[in-house]
Structure 1
Amino acid sequence: MTEDVDFLVPESALSAIREMGDASPLADSVDGVTLEMGGVTVDFIFMPDEMPEETLEGGPRIDGVPVLRPEALFLMKMHAPRAKDHADVIEMIKAGVADIKAVKKYVKKHDPSMLDDLESNIAMAEYEKSAAKKDPKKRAAMVSPRKA
């Protein structure tokens, strides 16, 4: 998984974000901006208009800040055009950050067209985990977080 922080924000927050520092557009056609803050990459991703309200509901709060439910994060990353987001999906599966049955149920409800992609990601994660067990050198390479 990448070492950055992502915030899902309305596009109307852009002027406030720019006041925090030198913001540059996110790579690969993702709607949003990125900042470097204290050595950490912070991505501010603009909320898609079609995002269901319940995506933002029911997730945990950390220090009062709402956090996406893992199931919603999976779907959002599967829709993203960046390769790093798709790699993150596989890494999240391998790390067990969510109940895969709950993720499948969420994807089936909100975007059934993505179920095949999810199944492919699950298969890839399982393959990588089994390959890592057979070769410890590969395991070290597969579990090392990559920089954003």
Structure 2
Amino acid sequence: MKKLLLLIFIAASAIAQDSDPEKQAVAFNKWYVKQINEDKFPITDSHEIDKYVTASTMKKLRRTQEADYSDDPFYDADIFTKSQYIGDDWADFVTVVAGDTDPVCVNVYIEFGKKKKHTVIDCMVKEDGFWKVQSVAARDFN
């Protein structure tokens, strides 16, 4: 009986994590920054990113990497961090600072870093029962 209760608890915890847009946003951003710090390019290096980002967004991002896509630069910052660099403490400090819901998505305000903080807003939507990033907006204004 104890083993059964333990299995139920573990399954419920896994389901709860996937059903929480804030936890999924933090998990994605920690994973993503780690990939970038390891000199990996998550959009094309594997399909692991697909569990964090919507299929329609990934289709668009992968299209930008195709040979026949225009050579003109289309964006001057990382699409998910909205930054041209990754702070040295970002991988260790990814936190949710706020959230709100609108008719399109759950907006999760993610803060990177402890020294010099950088904030983005992840638009999270449910796809196939899992919360995923649909888009990211910059929160810092210089």
The answer to whether the superposition gives a TM-score over 0.5 is: no
More helix by share: 1
TM-score after normalising by structure 2: 0.29
Structure ranking higher in strand proportion: 2
